[in-house]
Amino acid sequence: MAPVIYELVSVEQLRPSSRRGVVLLRSDGDADIDAAATFGGLSSKKQRELRDRFDTWIEHAPGQHNDLWFHGFTNTEAYRDCFVFKWREKEAGHRLYGFICHPQPNTNKRFQLCVLTNHGEKPRAKWQTDLSELDIANRTRANRHVLAVISMNFPDQASGTKQWTS
């Protein structure tokens, strides 16, 4: 059985920020991880719409949210680190689910990274979130291979300090 490989995919054309960032997760071997593929398959107009929403979140002050475009799940302890960005297409609600983490607790502890993991559709008449989508984001958030990829892409070392290797 081939090992499951994870990779972070940058979202092009986002405003740079030292406070927040958004990335997409890609995986070879984990069928639940489809955020990067979903985003890549969108029309350029829909990608631009989502990038605008990502930028809006990046610029928002912590604690502020926009329930129409994105929000966290802080009212439920089990999903407090989960996050979602939303859009509509062809009369269906679409969601990119993921999680928020702080990948640089030593060098930039206030920096928040939103790692988008999976795509879900929500019929217009349904208002409750499918918890299985949040379970995927939570499982991924705790995956040691995903954590390693985040650490490699967002190193937490002050410049000039010695980095240990195995």
Long-range contacts of 157-162 (CB under 8 A, 24+ apart): 157/106, 157/107, 158/106, 158/107
pLDDT at position 24 is 98
Q: What's the rounded mean pLDDT across residues 34-46?
A: 97
HSE-CB of 78 using CA atoms within 13 angstroms: 7
Share of the chain above pLDDT 70, in %: 88
> Which residue in 57, 50, 68, 76 sits closest to 135, CA to CA?
76
Angle at CA of residue 44, ends 9 and 46, nearest 5°: 90
> Which residue in 40, 28, 34 sits closest to 1, CA to CA?
28
Higher pLDDT, 161 or 120: 120
pLDDT at position 3 is 78
Tokens 């054309």 correspond to 13
pLDDT at 164 over 60: no
Alpha helices in 18-130 (DSSP H): 35-40, 44-59
Q: What's the rounded mean pLDDT across residues 135-154?
A: 96
HSE-CB of 77 using CA atoms within 13 angstroms: 0
Reported pTM: 0.90
Burial class of residue 7, CB neighbours in 10 A (0-12, 13-18, 19+):
middle
pLDDT at position 166 is 43
pLDDT at position 88 is 86
